[in-house]
Structure 1
Amino acid sequence: MTDPTGEPAIPDPAERAALNAALHTDNIETGWWDDQGRPAPWPDDIDQWQPETGETITRRPGEQPF
């Protein structure tokens, strides 16, 4: 939807509420998507995940990290 100038129009409150409900229903907030690119719920085993780390980088004294 665009306004007369061609800019995206801001939906009215009722339309915003409907769009937000659809986002919630589709689990958009999770940040997870299935193999077809559709929004997906959080994985069941998310509480068992561990961060993946690489090798520890040692710096010389006074060396900047970047």
Structure 2
Amino acid sequence: MTHPTGDPAIPDPAERAALNAALIATGIETGFWDDHGRPAPWPHDIDQWQPETGEPVTRKPGEQPF
């Protein structure tokens, strides 16, 4: 299925629930982890996530990035 926004990478809620159940049954990781570093299911609100964007940092000539 395709996400309502058209992004095929994000399954819709019903598909996420099915994927989470299958992943729990087989012990496969989703690529998401909880606050303790354990594998976690797909987040219920992933379809509301927005990419973080910011202004590019302009450095002076020769200035190190960190």
Q: Tell me the TM-score normalised to structure 1 length.
A: 0.41
Structure with greater contact order relative to length (CA < 8 Å, sep ≥ 6) = 2
Higher-Rg structure is 1
Q: Tell me the TM-score normalised to structure 2 length.
A: 0.41
